Chain A
Amino acid sequence: MSERLKTEICGIKMNTPILAASGTFGFGEEFADFVDLEKLGGVMVKCITLKPRAGNKGVRITETPAGMLNCIGLENPGVEKFLIEILPRIKNKMNVIVNISGSSVEDYGELAKLLNVDGVAAIELNISCPNVKDGGIIFGTNPKAAAEVTSTAKKFTSKPVIVKLSPNVTDITEIARSVESAGADCISLINTLMGMEININTWKPTLGNITGGLSGGAVKPVAVRMVYQVAQAVKVPVIGMGGICTAADAIEFFLAGASAVAVGTANFANPAVTMEIANDLENYLASRNLNLREIIGQVKI
């Protein structure tokens, strides 16, 4: 594995700065035919909650111009099943970053405690799911509540705590600063932008949940802007995501200040895309005789 791409974030050793974004990559295993999972910086696994959740009813996805809307609604087997059945299967194959969501501050603390086990590289607090009322978005849009969730999770775990921010706010830096001062070890962004599609023949919303989260290429400029703003505002490392499809997209995020990036929706069109991005990134750096570190945050203003 190339030295040039190796990196370390909050003590997590990564072979490349390319991660898989939560909810788009299952538990990693589903992509094993296409991806060398060890070559990924980590897999942010599908959101886990205390109790199993069935998710939303009706149509859950629809394609939109250069993107898609989803309202999966945090369907997951619950933390117990994750710990007993899934984690043992995947823990030695990749850096497992567990995305968690709760409906109360206590839920996040409880989940952080239960997941403070061998095989978990870090936890990512999802305080930004726009698709369920109790999916954390109430915490992600209020700086005080976001800080409270962060400090509670920190109290119950020795793992690095990544806080995933929602773009559905007026001032992203306010929340970012707030979770940093509450002890966040890292900030990831962006989660999906809230959106909606209406069928003009039936006059009904396409999605069963009426609204959904927008992801894919269409959100990239918003994500780059927010990563730039957050990287300026905080000292902790930032994991950037939102619409990354190519190494060129990833490089924009590094220049904006991300220390690593995650790829989500692009995995659907090309399940091997993360490997292609890693290779192309390596070539970009090699041809300029640069290390990854030397491009992070180097946008010239």
Chain B
Amino acid sequence: MLKIFDTEIISNAEVSANIFKLEVAAPELSQIAKAGQFVQVKVSDEFTLRRPLGIASAKNGMVKIFYRVIGKGTEILSTKKTGEHLNILGALGNGFDTNISGRILLVGGGMGLAPLLSVAEKIEADVLMGGKNKSEVDFWIKEFRAEVDRIYITTDDGSFGSLGFVTSLLPEVLEYDNYAAIYTCGPEIMMRSVYKIAEENNLPCYVSLERRMACGLGACLSCSIDTASGRKKVCKDGPIFEARAVFS
């Protein structure tokens, strides 16, 4: 059952330049949310559309979201204060499979790490994370530390972890363990390369896609994509897809 929740903001703080961590009290939502699902946030009455944001964590009656300020909507969201209320529609989308047996490797770049954190919260996983620089991975390390066994890090400028992209380190990481699957989220070119490497290693690979959305309910077709099994809506049939179905 989908619902509109009136939530209270517990905190909304900048964790790195232009990246915010938003925590809201949402007891029911935090119970029903599955890893990899997202919400549509009503930033204010002045906007015609809600803004889709991934659920990064859902436990103890709280829902955590990480967002980058990139335009008007996220900018106004970043000015919201503790105690203010936020109207949230959710939980939307299919979510990742968390009944899979075996250890999962999470591969995320930038804000793509948000939905992966919600997976780490639920199942056995390691994470390979990439960011622009140290400041863009530091806060993720803090979040993931309690949820995963191993954290592998790359930064574009080499200011922390290995220099380069997650895809340069991925083949090496895959040698350290027998992973059951790769779950990935981040820029689409990154996910495509991750998928290629997963194929070479005969590993199932699931990706979380992003498209502009209006309804978030599968009604308006703003977010349609072609897949191996026909037209799909990212908001309803996704955002999680088998990589093979969308990238090959």
Q: In the assembled complex, which residues on chain A have CB atoms less than 8 Å from the CB atom of B217?
A: 26, 30-31, 271
Asked if B50 CB lies within 8 Å of chain A CBs, one says yes
Q: Are B215 and A271 in contact (CB under 8 A)?
A: yes
In this assembly, does A159 line the interface, its C-beta being within 8 Å of a C-beta of chain B?
no
A26 lies within 8 A of B220 (CB) = yes
Contact between chains at B48 and A271 (CB < 8 Å)? no
Measured CA separation A29–B236 after assembly (Å): 13
- For the complex, count residues of B whose C-beta is within 8 A of A: 26
- Cross-chain contact A33 with B1 (CB below 8 angstroms): yes
Cβ-based interface call for A139 (8 A): no
A75, B224: Cβ atoms under 8 Å?
Answer: yes
Determine if B218 is an interface residue (Cβ-Cβ < 8 Å). yes
Asked whether, in the complex, the Cβ of B4 is within 8 Å of the Cβ of A271, the reply is: yes
Q: Does B142 contact A (CB under 8 A)?
A: no
* Total of A-B residue pairs, C-beta within 8 Å: 88
Complex formed: what's the CA distance from A179 to B170 in Å? Answer: 64
Judge whether A24 and B220 touch: CB under 8 Å.
yes
A253 at the interface (CB under 8 A from B): no
How far is the CB of A58 from the nearest CB of chain B, in Å? 10
CB of A67 within 8 Å of the partner chain: yes
Contact with B along A244-277 (1 / 0, CB 8 A): 0000000000000000000001011111100000
Q: How large is the interface on A (under 10, 10 to 19, 20 to 34, 35 or more residues)?
A: 20 to 34
Q: Are B48 and A216 in contact (CB under 8 A)?
A: yes
Which residues on the B side are within 8 Å of A67 (C-beta)?
A: 48
Residue contact A46 to B49, C-beta cutoff 8 Å:
no
Q: In the assembly, what is the distance between CA of A31 and CA of B213, in Å?
A: 16
User: Top 5 A-B pairs ranked by shortest CB distance?
Assistant: A26-B219, A30-B219, A30-B217, A61-B222, A33-B2
- 27 residue pairs of the A-B complex, CB under 8 angstroms, read A24-B215, A24-B219, A25-B219, A26-B217, A27-B219, A30-B215, A30-B219, A30-B236, A33-B1, A33-B3, A54-B226, A55-B221, A60-B221, A60-B222, A61-B212, A61-B214, A61-B220, A63-B47, A72-B220, A72-B221, A75-B224, A217-B48, A265-B214, A269-B42, A269-B49, A270-B42, A271-B215
- Which B positions have Cβ atoms within 8 angstroms of A? 1-4, 42, 47-50, 73, 89, 212-215, 217-224, 226, 231, 236
Residue positions of A touching B, CB distance < 8 A = 23-27, 30-31, 33-34, 46, 54-55, 59-64, 66-68, 70, 72, 75, 216-217, 265, 267-272
